[in-house]
Amino acid sequence: MGFDAKPKYVTFDMNGTLIKFSINDTMREVLGDRLPAEVADDYLRICKAYRIDECTGAYQPFHQVVARSMERTSRKLGLEYREEDARAVYETIPTWGPYPGVTEALNRLAEEVPLVIITNSDTAHAERLAENLKAPFEVVISAEEMGVYKPRLGAFDYMLDKLGVTPDELVHVSASPMYDHRSAASSPSSSASRAPDA
């Protein structure tokens, strides 16, 4: 796609790009005094790493990703793990809203090109979070639908197949190098990956 061509779609990561992904604040709130201040930053950093790790194996529902990452982190740091804490964190996710200005920008963009979401949320949460954005999306693709999480390459292959486009016919927007940028650039179907070796 040249610079003058209009993309067939603009695709978006949702959580952390459009929706303020407040999982750290939520975990602090849910765990309360059981997350000592001296280990809180380590807990949140390690839990994020374990969430990424849980997303790179065989597909499992997102509530299990949240639970397994919290359980592994608690065990590593010698803290008590409670299943109801993970459930409370997971159940808070669909209440999160967009960053300031996102809704207005999406609605302006939607006048020019169809918008699509590809998200690591499960289907029920993806639909509710997309509603929170108050903007028109042609398609919302969830990890549950794909049977795989980003950064797995299969997520991007699924999206391209579902939309019936090649990578150079869309623009993908994400704030996440870890979950989106690296995979999108290295996908076998990406035009970036077809560049000759330097």
Q: pLDDT for 29-65, tens place per residue?
A: 999 999 999 999 999 999 999 999 999 989 999 999 9
Average pLDDT in the chain: 89
- Return the pLDDT at 198: 31
Mean pLDDT of all residues in 152-166:
93
pTM for this model (two decimals): 0.86
- Return the pLDDT at 1: 47
d(CA 133, CA 41): 29
pLDDT band of residue 177 (cuts 50, 70, 90) is: low
* 92-97 own/partner pairs: CB under 8 Å, 24+ apart: 92/22, 92/26, 92/30, 93/23, 93/26, 93/121, 93/125, 93/129, 94/124, 94/125, 94/128, 94/129, 94/132, 96/15, 96/19, 96/20, 96/21, 96/22, 96/129, 96/132, 97/19, 97/20, 97/132
pLDDT band of residue 187 (cuts 50, 70, 90) is: low
